Amino acid sequence: MTILIWSLAIGVFLITKDLSDTHEHVVHEFREEIMPIAQIGSMMTELSTNMNNYVLIGDKESIRSISRWSKEIDVVFDEVLSVEFGSNRHKDKIVKAKVLWGQVRESHARLGKIKKPVGSREAREEVELAHSLIGDIRASLRDANSHGLKEINEGKEKALAIKDRNDLFLALILPLSIAIMVGTGLVINRSILEPLKALGEVVQRIGDGDYSGTVVRPTQDEVGQLSRTFNRMAKSIDSYNAQLHELAIHDRLTKVLNRHEFHKRLEAQIEETAQSRASFSLLMLDIDHFKKVNDKYGHMIGDKALTEIAAVLRESVRSIDIVARYGGEEFVVILPGATRENTFEAAERIRRLIEEHEIEINVGQTIRVTISIGVARHPNDARTGDELVKKADQALYRAKGCGRNCVQACGTSQQEIEIIA
């Protein structure tokens, strides 16, 4: 009887140790390798936007932004490469992306030396080269992610293998325990086998990619310790999944949705509207003379202004409305179900609140900024997402041409807007 009890204790201890090691390995790889790679992809999007702005409008601020984003990408690359990789193939993909990134940096340097980029064939070729290299970098990073996830899946398979070993252990020990004492067998079944069976079901769900399952009411013995280890592992990975999702869909500076997620939400809104035969509106907002803010007060104040403007936007719209940063100093707002009158009232309210908002640049010293807003409605003005964005952008340029700090819409005069508002 003593031998049986010790055999059970040793077996449970070995299983607990193996599963704890698997938990630490999975969580470490997920946090140290995959999340920084996702950050690089997000920063590459900002970099591409600034390159396009420099070539299209010759904005010198874009070159400085390119330099700033490039330094941040260098830092993240260094962080990723400092991690111990599970395989050389995984690391080779990251190294390849870093080499391609060096070529992008050289292209940026050549682009910065072109004094008049607008209409320049040389500038356009440099941007096309950089975009092509960035595409290769994204492909290499995606491949690296795939290898990283493969290694994590191998960790899952290890957990399942441990479960199989556990099942074999139980298959061998159960007949022996029944032969020694039926009563002892009943006690073992209630105190050990049933919890292990429940734990085995959780292991199976984790192996299938479902991290939401946990062992209910774990006991206080070694099996309970094993169950609690699994519960921590499931919660940790589920939490990291949620963090990675939030990082992927939000703008790093302003914390509103990013451009990629905006386009996904816009297409979803168009599809929903088509089914319900309703309508919605799109606002495109641009901070007036934002370059002067950066030039006069510095980029830290410029970033502070962007962050506070985004906060004012979130506070001035409904909970169902969608706010996103489109790029640079441009924001977009989707107003589901808004009528024409509701749209202009909301746009004018946003414009007024931002105009009245004070941004502190020093103790006791504040500045104010204004915005111009372009309005387009679906399906009245456009039926596709790209067309709707184009119409709102055209209306925004009308607002800029009308002296800024105003609201303009497709085919709507300023007098009509004032009547509606």
CATH number at residue 395: 3.30.70.270
Same domain as 160, residue 78: yes
Look up the domain containing 181 and give its range.
Answer: 1-249
Same domain as 66, residue 5: yes
334/232: higher pLDDT: 334
Q: What does the alpha-carbon distance between residue 115 and residue 386 come to, in Å, rounded to a whole number? A: 32
Q: What does the alpha-carbon distance between residue 137 and residue 122 come to, in Å, rounded to a whole number? A: 22
For 210, half-sphere exposure in the C-beta direction (CA atoms, 13 angstrom radius) is 9
Q: Which of 416, 382, 390 is nearest to 402 (CA)?
A: 416
CA 107, 66, 84: angle at the middle one, nearest 5? 85
Q: What are the C-alpha distances in Å from 392 to residues 119, 282, 334, 374?
A: 25, 7, 11, 5
The one-character DSSP state at 283 is: E
Radius of gyration of the chain (CA): 29
**421 band by pLDDT with thresholds 50, 70 and 90:** very low
Same domain as 15, residue 89: yes
- In this prediction the pTM is 0.51
How does strand 359-362 pair with strand 365-367? antiparallel
Same domain as 243, residue 108: yes
Catalytic residue among 84, 329, 348, 387: 329
Write down the pLDDT at residue 87: 67
254 in any annotated domain = no
pLDDT in tens, 201-220: 777 777 776 766 666 666 67
Q: Which two tokens stand for residue 306?
A: 């962007």
Last residue of a domain, one of 228, 249, 270: 249
Residues 43, 260 contacting (CB under 8 angstroms): no
Last residue of a domain, one of 218, 249, 280: 249
% of the chain at pLDDT higher than 90: 37
pLDDT in tens, 43-65: 888 888 888 888 888 877 888 88
77/250: higher pLDDT: 250
Averaged pLDDT score across all residues of the chain = 82
Q: Reply yes or no on whether the pLDDT at 417 is more than 50.
A: no
Q: What does the alpha-carbon distance between residue 334 and residue 376 come to, in Å, rounded to a whole number? A: 10
Same domain as 379, residue 326: yes
Phi, psi of 266 (to 5 degrees): -65, -45
pLDDT in tens, 129-154: 988 988 888 888 888 777 767 776 77
Helix (H, G, I), strand (E, B) or coil at 410: coil
Q: Which two tokens stand for residue 383?
A: 């039926």
6/84: higher pLDDT: 84
- 84 catalytic? Reply is no
The residue type found at 100 is L
Q: Reply yes or no on whether the pLDDT at 5 is more than 60.
A: no
Write down the pLDDT at residue 295: 96
Last residue of a domain, one of 226, 249, 272: 249
